[in-house]
Every structure is written in C-alpha cells, then in structure tokens.
Structure 1
Amino acid sequence: MKIPKRIEPLVEEGLVDEVICQLMSGKEAMVYVVRCGEAIRCAKVYKEANARSFRQSVDYTEGRRVKNSRRARAMEKGTRYGRKAQEDAWRSVEVDSLCRLAAAGVRVPQPYNFFEGVLLMELVTGVNGAAAPRLNDLALTAEEARAHHLTLVREVVRMLCAGIVHGDLSEYNVLAGSDGLVIIDLPQAIDAAANNNARSMLVRDMDNLAAYFGRFAPELPATDYGREIWSLYQSGKLHPDIALTGRIEHSKKPVDIAGVMRVVNIVLKKEAAWQRHKLEMRG
C-alpha cells in the first residue's frame, strides 16, 4: 500500500521497509502492519490533538513531570511551542509505560522504536498467526471469562506495583494473543503516586472488566477488586503475588452524627461572627 505521510521519515531512516496494510483506526491513533527487515511489526501513528476523540483531560495529565523548565512553562502558558511539547509528552507516555510494565512482568506489546511521533512495536498475533483479536470480539464460556478476569486482575496488580494505572482499561484494550492476554493502548496511563484521580480510575478500570466478563459469568460484577487493590496499595501491602478476595471490608463503626453536628455548628457560629464583624467595620 501507499506509505502514509507520517511513516515516510521512518522509511527514510531505514526503520521501516514496507507498509503492508492498515490494521485499525482508533480514537487516538492509526495502526499499520509494517515490515522492518525480516520482522513484521506494528507502527502506531498518533493522531493530532484536533483529530482525536480522546482528549488530554487534566484528570490524566495531572502529576506528569516535565524535566525541562522552559518546556514546562510553555505548556502552562499554552504557547505554540508549549502545545507541541504537550503533544510530544502525551505520545511519549505510552513508550515509557510499555518499557516500565514490560520490566515489571506485565504482558504488553514490546516497544522497538519511537521516531517522529510513530511508535514501532510488536505485532501481537493470535493462535492462527494473524493479528490478535480484541477481547470484545470473542464469545467466551463462563469458565473462560473467569480465567481471563483473574488474569487481568493479576496484571492490574503488577501495573500498580510498577506505579501505573491504565486509566482506560476495558475489553477494547486487551488482545487475545497466542500466548495469553496482552494489554494495549497506554498513552493515557497515569502515575499512581502523583495523580489524585488514580484511585477512581483504577476502580473504574476494574469495574469495566467486571461488567464485561459478567456477561458470561454473572457473579463477577459483584466483586470489588478495584477498591481492594487500592486499599492494599495505599497501606503499602500490595505486591504482585498477594492473595485477593474481590471484597473490601467496610467500617462498621457507627457515624458520630452528634460530633459532626457540633463541628458544623462551630463553623456556622464563626461565620456568623465574621459577618457581624464585617458589618461593624462598614458602619
């Protein structure tokens, strides 16, 4: 097929020899199957900001560190240079996350190169040797759904132990590879320790998976792995081999309503006194 304009620099640099076909078009990128010497790989071409349906919400970018102070200031001001720097940072998050997660033992596509906004990575194949299907393309038995759900719960634990929350995990971001499930699409991944939204996003990821697999195994939506995993992480007890129950212990201690009302009354009295003081000053 004709070489897409964004891949031309990789051909010129000798990183890509041939573009075989387009594999998919997602909300954030176009993915192509390419030949690199003897190897068949993927080239993920990130869309420009105005062409993406997935936006750089502050919920995702909060806590991301920029080492270059000039770049950080430009990004804060929203200058042309700053917007370009923000785009570059957004794209590089996936590369960094893939490397960190692979080192932590999480099954993700192997990254090979990142050049001119294009990520060259492993082409994950299915049992028939073709590109692996996504989870949402499969019809599962209840037993298969339970097994896949447990596998992904363990992978999410490994991810969090590496300090990363996927942030958009669902049946659409997991491939059924020949050697098992593979988690993909990580440009929105967040730093668990630096982002105040990490807990809610982890819980949402786990609820998404439970809802999907619950179509085949009806008991799974009643589990609460997200809150259990976060509770263990927050207390410093989380590790890759920890035994999970899918339940979270809720405090049975009764709420001290009288105590709460005392605090509320104190605040109201202080506010009333302050308002009287302001009126006296004006008089």
Structure 2
Amino acid sequence: MKAPARLQPLIDEGLIDSVVRQLMSGKEATVYVVRVGEDTRCAKVYKAATQRSFRQAVDYTENRKVKNSRQARAMAKGTRYGRQAQEEAWQSAEVDALYRLAAAGVRVPVPYNFHDGVLLMELVADAEGGAAPRLNDVVFTPEEARRHHAALVQQAVRMLCAGVVHGDLSEFNILLAADGPVIIDLPQAVDAAGNRHAPRMLLRDVGNLRHFFGRFAPELRATEYGPEMWSLYERGLLTADTPLSGRFEPLQGAVDLRALMREIDDARDEEAARQLRMGF
C-alpha cells in the first residue's frame, strides 16, 4: 500500500522499507504492518489530541516527569508549546513503559524505535504467523480461561514490582500470541509509587481480568487478586515470585480495598448498561 504521510519520514530515514497494510485504528493511534529488511514489524502512529477519544486525564498524567521546568510551566499554563510538550510526554510514556517492562520480564511487544510520533515495535503473532487477535475476539474453554487469567495476574504482579500500573488493562488491549497473552497499549501507564490513583487503577485492571475470564470460568469472579497484590506491594512484601491466593483479608485500619473494588465493579456495570442503551 501507499505509505501514509506520517510514515514517509521513517522510510526516508531508512527505519522501515515499506508499509504492508493497516492493522487497526483505535482511540489513540493507528497501527500499520511494515517491513524492515526480512522482518515484519508494526508501526503505531499516534493520533493528535483533537482526533483521540481517550483524553489525557489528570489521573493518568499526575506526577509524570518532563524534560525541564520550562516544559512543566508551559504544560500547566496550557500554552501552545505546553500542549506540544504534553503530547510528547504522553507518547513517550508508552515507549518508556515498554522498555521498563520488557526489562522486568513482562510480556509486552519489543520496542525498536520511536521517531516523530511513531513507535516501531514487534508484531505480535499467532501460531500461523499472522497478527495475534485481541482477547475479546477469542472464545475460551474454562481451562484456557483459568490458565490465561493466572498468567495475566502474574504479569500484573511483575508490572507492579517494576513500579508500573497499566491503567487501562482489559480484554481489548491484550493480544493472544502463539505462546500466550501479550499486554499492549501503555501510554496511560502510571507510576505505582508516585500516582495517588494507582491503587484504584490496579484494582480496576485486575478486576477487568476477573470479569472477562469469569465469563468462561465463573469461579474466577470470586477472586480478589487486586487487593491482595496491592496490600503486599504497599507493605513492601510483593516480589515477582510471591505466591498469591486470590483471597484478601484487610488489615485493621487499612484502606477498605473491597469497598473500592465494589465501586469499580458498579461503575463498570453502569458503563456497560449505558453502552447497551446507546447501541454500542
């Protein structure tokens, strides 16, 4: 296919050789399959803020580091330069998270390059070598659901141990590769220690996994991995190899994580009902 304008500079720079096809278009970016020598990779082209349906909510951008104090002041004032700096920080957040998580052993696409708002990374493939499907496009047996749920809970633990909370994890941004689930879409990732909203986001992320896989293995709906892992993390007791039970008993005087989980579940149910009414 003809190279989109946003990808032409990467061809000119020799970072990619050709564009094969558009893979998908989402709320924050359009992804293309590209060729680099003998390799097939994907190029994620970020949409401008005016074209995105996913907004850079303060909850996500809280405590994010920027290059210098001038950028921070400009972003706070909302100047043109500040908006540009905010866009760059939003896009580079995914790049930073991918490198950080890959180094921690988390199953994410391998990042190769980031150039002018385009992220070049691994194409996650299925058993036939094609683009891997999202979880929401796959039907699982109870055994498969339990296995993939366990694997993703372990990935959430590794992410948390690396100091990262995905912030928008669900069946829509996890791919089923030939060798298991791979987590994608990380521009909204937050710092677990530096963002006060991180506990709520982690509980929502893990709750989304429970909710989705619980459709196929109903016993998973009773698990409480989110509160369990956050409680251990908060007390400095969580490691990548910490065994989890899926049960949680709050410590006396601790934050009521169960109540927070119920609020998250209620909000999810309300949003699902709203989308049903709107015909989505």
Determine if the TM-score, normalized by the shorter chain, exceeds 0.5.
yes
The SS at the match of 1:5 is coil
Q: Give the whole-Å Cα distance in 2 for the aligned partners of 1:124 and 1:217.
A: 26
The SS at the match of 2:250 is coil
Counterpart of 1:19 in structure 2 is 19
Counterpart of 1:171 in structure 2 is 171
What is the CA-CA distance between 1:180 and the residue it aligns to? 1.5
Counterpart of 1:52 in structure 2 is 52
Q: Give the whole-Å Cα distance in 2 for the aligned partners of 1:22 and 1:187.
A: 20
The SS at the match of 2:246 is coil
Counterpart of 2:76 in structure 1 is 76
The SS at the match of 2:242 is coil
Q: Note the 1:214-253 alignment, pairs <5 A.
A: 214-251=214-251
Alpha-carbon displacement from aligned partner over 1:115-142 (angstroms, at most 9, x marks no partner): 0000000001000110001111111000
Alpha-carbon displacement from aligned partner over 1:232-283 (angstroms, at most 9, x marks no partner): 0000000000010111113579xxxxxxxxxxxxxxxxxxxxxxxxxxxxxx
Aligned CA RMSD, in angstroms, stands at 1.0
TM-score, normalised to structure 1, is: 0.88
Counterpart of 1:190 in structure 2 is 190
Alpha-carbon displacement from aligned partner over 1:39-69 (angstroms, at most 9, x marks no partner): 1100000000011011000000001011311
Q: Note the 1:1-283 alignment, pairs <5 A.
A: 1-251=1-251
The SS at the match of 1:157 is helix
The SS at the match of 1:139 is coil
What is the CA-CA distance between 1:230 and the residue it aligns to? 0.4
What is the CA-CA distance between 1:222 and the residue it aligns to? 1.1
TM-score, normalised to structure 2, is: 0.89
For residue 208 of structure 2, what is the amino acid of its counterpart?
A: N
Relative to structure 1, is the Cα distance of residues 21 and 152 closer, same or farther in structure 2, using a 3 angstrom cutoff? same
Q: Give the whole-Å Cα distance in 2 for the aligned partners of 1:42 and 1:138.
A: 22
What is the CA-CA distance between 1:24 and the residue it aligns to? 0.3
Q: Give the whole-Å Cα distance in 1 for the aligned partners of 2:236 and 2:128.
A: 42
What is the CA-CA distance between 1:82 and the residue it aligns to? 0.5
Relative to structure 1, is the Cα distance of residues 252 and 63 closer, same or farther in structure 2, using a 3 angstrom cutoff? closer
For residue 135 of structure 1, what is the amino acid of its counterpart?
A: L
Q: Give the whole-Å Cα distance in 2 for the aligned partners of 1:138 and 1:85.
A: 38
Percent sequence identity is 68
Q: Give the whole-Å Cα distance in 1 for the aligned partners of 2:15 and 2:251.
A: 57
What is the CA-CA distance between 1:148 and the residue it aligns to? 0.3
